[in-house]
Structure 1
């Protein structure tokens, strides 16, 4: 569905968090949430006046209890996706250096998975391009 004035646009900072073994962290959305029960890459809304990297650092600390090294983050992909009720702009960053141990602070299940096994999980439609970008980078 095309973006209309009725659709809300949401800017989301997303982290593709890679551990030293090369695995990627994914989280399962709460059943009652938008796209509930599906797997996603952690992150959250960018607040007004907030930079995307600052938002990512804040969200990952709030959701997972980790501290990311901003200097090590690099942009991976940008995605605009229209759902029937909202349009999301996913600003996706690769995170390779962080401290702390990731824990689902909001009760969300977490999994560290290999890039090739990401295809075994069901993600929201907007996240499919992220999975493809990760898997494509693995073959380079």
Structure 2
């Protein structure tokens, strides 16, 4: 089995309690599915540093405030991931799909209408429980 990939994930909160989603490019693992933006934690980086860097590179925002949300370890048949999820409660800039990816602001109640990688299901479940 391959080594576990450590990923910093941002649940980016917008106006009216919406959440920013990004569509994964077709050529990537789990391509064509929606995700919470983020990326790999590089050696020597903290999760917060990786999240700030990745969100700047992917969606052109500057992270101002985050709070830990949850951690998920998930094994796909071909890959193992450790997702370190943070809520991004304050940011500056206007989100833009820097890599050409589609972005969408979605309410928590609409999340079930989007197809996500299986590893993201616990995130969606926890977010929807907050509104219950």
Structure exhibiting the larger radius of gyration computed from Cα positions:
1
1:63 maps to 2:58: yes
Identify the residue that residue 14 of structure 1 maps to in structure 2: 9
One of 55, 77, 83 as aligned partner of 1:84: 77
- Across the aligned residues of Structure 1 and Structure 2, the Cα RMSD in angstroms comes to 0.7
Contact 1:8 1:85 in 2 (8 A): no
1:51 maps to 2:43: no
Count of residues in correspondence between the two structures: 132
Normalized per residue, the structure richer in strand is: 2
Identify the residue that residue 27 of structure 2 maps to in structure 1: 32
1:94 maps to 2:87: yes
Separation in 1 of the partners of 2:131 and 2:66?
Answer: 17
| Deviation, structure 1 residue 81 | 0.3
Consecutive unaligned residues in structure 2, runs of 5 or more: none
Separation in 2 of the partners of 1:92 and 1:119?
Answer: 19
SS in 2 for 1:91: strand
Consecutive unaligned residues in structure 1, runs of 5 or more: 1-5
Question: Which runs of 4 or more aligned residues in structure 1 lie more than 6 Å from their structure 2 counterparts after TM superposition?
Answer: none
State the TM-score, normalizing by the size of structure 2.
0.97
